[in-house]
Chain A
Amino acid sequence: MNIFNMAYEYRNFFLSGLQYTLLLAVLGVFFGFVLGIAIALLRMSKWWLVRFIATAWVEFLRGTPMLVQLFLIHYGLATFGIEFTAMESGAITLSINSSAYLAEIFRAGIQGVDRGQVEAARSLGMRQGMTMRFIVLPQALKSVLPAIGNEFITIIKESSIVSFIGVMDLMFQSRSVSTITYDGFTPLVIIAFMYFVMTFTLSKLLGRLERRLNTDDRG
């Protein structure tokens, strides 16, 4: 069977897999982003205990395989009676894992903002939180946008590991199609192409966003 016929014939498999993959990627990006900013701020807290916990979070999640994290959350926690559906476990793992990487990116961005910016804002009577929100974070996010884009692309690709715990994402569906057709090659090529379209589109969109922000100001 040629690749186009297969893609067409088993379109329901691939499209339903695509839905799960996209949903996971969106959840992972969103919660990873929010959580990542929170962790980055906690890492710069004035209380050492808070800093320690945030640092431990980052080091643990960066220093252990995501597959192990996924199994810990899905199977490990279940032994203590904390049970998640496969989809929930997948979304949680992707979110916390990317939060660690994003936190490091945000921290670099925040620390890269010129000290004078903070001083100017504070000298105008702006409080610390306000200064962070209106002055530091917007500039920090802009400067680390390419790195954030990389992390988003990683999340899309890495989401494929959730097939291990039975989430019916693209990876899972390609194996289903392989089983039915006895073809171990073509379904993989099809989903590889689908992953590529997603990541390529994202990187183009981010590139456009970057250029638009750059025409606003170059300071």
Chain B
Amino acid sequence: MIEVRNLQKHFGKLEILKGIDLEVQKGEVVVVIGPSGSGKSTFLRCLNLLEEPTGGDISFEGQSITAKKHDINITREKMGMVFQQFNLFPHKTVLQNITLAPVKVKKIQTSEAEKIAMELLRTVGLEDKKDAYPSQLSGGQKQRIAIARALAMQPHVMLFDEPTSALDPEMVGEVLEVMKKLAEDGMTMIIVTHEMGFAREVGDRILFMDGGVIVEQGTPAEVFGNPQNIRTQDFLSKVL
């Protein structure tokens, strides 16, 4: 579904990504772990071109999205993204946050979009908040709405950029719960996270990144149970 070949990203002289190769299958849950500054967020943001790669190639469903003539907006409709800082639209209600893109981008009827939105709100357990503004919600609620907003576009893959890192500890669980449900429903997901317990439980594959490369990858049992690389061992010994 997603194919990444020799992906590179420089900011001026600074090399953030030094050639990443990855293939993600439909329905797969890939969890990216690694120390801060290892390039994992940049890597994720390259997948929908929020960061412009400086080298390499990314294909999505058989189409190169890094090709000059490709219209990335079409691809972004099929790639949902959830951010560390939620980024809900503060001037819109919860319902409007969710229906805006389906109505404006996909041109579906407002009533239809609201029906989809209400279903999603039920899924994330926040139907009663449909008329609230983001400022009236807790962090965990905001992030669940952000997930619903991304899902409203009916994406084929969901990208999560440290979705629980900005949350108070007691709210992490509710967000992870929603993500777990999503994974069980067969959603293709790529998740950057520091939640090792979650990674182990939900991930089909774990990528350990450090210094702009994928140092090691494998099933959770392999990476967590028997890490091969010294850097992986070192990192895991610090966080586990």
Contact = CB atoms under 8 A, between A and B. Distances in A.
Contacts of B88: 120, 219
Q: How large is the interface on A (under 10, 10 to 19, 20 to 34, 35 or more residues)?
A: 20 to 34
A126 interface: yes
A210 interface: no
Contacts of A121: 89, 101
B87 A120 contact: yes
Interface stretch (B13-21, B78-86, B208-216): B78-86
Nearest to A127: B73
B73 A123 contact: no
A117 interface: yes
B105 A219 contact: no
Interface string B119-140: 0000000000000011100000
B104 A134 contact: yes
Contact of B90 (A123, A125, A127, A219): A219
A116 B162 CA distance: 14
Contacts of A135: 89
Given A123-B48, A123-B50, A134-B100, A116 B83 contact: yes
B133 A130 contact: no
Contacts, number: 74
A184 B175 CA distance: 73
Given A135-B89, A138-B91, A123 B79 contact: yes
A218 B150 CA distance: 23
A142 interface: yes
Contact of B105 (A120, A125, A142): A125
10 contacts: A119-B87, A123-B50, A123-B76, A126-B73, A126-B101, A126-B104, A130-B104, A134-B104, A218-B133, A219-B133
Interface in B65-124: 73-74, 76-77, 79-81, 83, 85, 87-91, 100-101, 104-106
Interface of A: 114, 116-117, 119-127, 130, 134-135, 138-139, 142, 216-219
A217 B134 contact: yes
Q: Which residue, of A114, A123, A138, has the highest number of chain B Cβ atoms within 10 A?
A: A123
Interface of B: 48, 50, 73-74, 76-77, 79-81, 83, 85, 87-91, 100-101, 104-106, 133-135, 146, 149-150, 153
B91 A142 contact: yes
Contacts of B146: 120
B104 A117 contact: no
A129 to B, nearest CB: 11
